[in-house]
Structure 1
């Protein structure tokens, strides 16, 4: 289950307005706002639709850690070679 905070964060990370997300998911702005406020009382079908739209734009929803460390989160699904040098490949020869 994803959280309201994850939805807000994913939308912000993608730079989408509530209106844009509503349009892309074919839902009312008030439905998006309700999901971003309190998922517990929201329509499961609407939540699945919004999640699908966000995932299609490259967001990955992360569950909280089962060992008690780290809560639920979000990140982009794919790393592009155009995004720079991966951290594990940083060294003095490519330091600019």
Structure 2
């Protein structure tokens, strides 16, 4: 199961608004807000939709480890040279969409 903090962190990491996540996951903004606030427990259909959406954008959810390894987290999937997109060093105001 993923946490509300992981969802918020994942959105921030990829620059996705709560409205965009809701639209891409086919959910209401209120439902995503409730998930982020921990108001729903368990692996609900909405949680699965949010997880699948964020994973499609390159997020990897990391389960909680023991206390030496830290708690649940997120990271970005490694990009390959065949991925489309702009390399970070080439980002500028002219290609900001």
TM-score bracket, normalised by the shorter chain, equals 0.7 to 0.9
- In structure 2, what is the equivalent of residue 20 of structure 1? 20
1:58 paired with 2:50, answer: no
After superposition, the Cα gap between the structure-2 partners of 1:39 and 1:72, relative to the gap in structure 1 and judged at 3 Å, is farther
- In structure 2, what is the equivalent of residue 33 of structure 1? 33
Instruction: Spell out structure 1 runs of 4+ moving beyond 2 A.
Output: 39-43, 79-84
Which of the pair has more CA radius of gyration?
Answer: 1
After superposition, the Cα gap between the structure-2 partners of 1:43 and 1:65, relative to the gap in structure 1 and judged at 3 Å, is closer
Q: What TM-score, normalized by structure 1, do the two folds share?
A: 0.76
- In structure 2, what is the equivalent of residue 89 of structure 1? none
Equivalent residues, number: 83
User: 3-state DSSP class of the match of 1:52?
Assistant: helix
RMSD: 2.0
Deviates more, 1:33-42 or 1:1-10: 33-42
- In structure 2, what is the equivalent of residue 3 of structure 1? 3
- Unmatched tracts of structure 2, length 5 or more: 82-86, 90-97
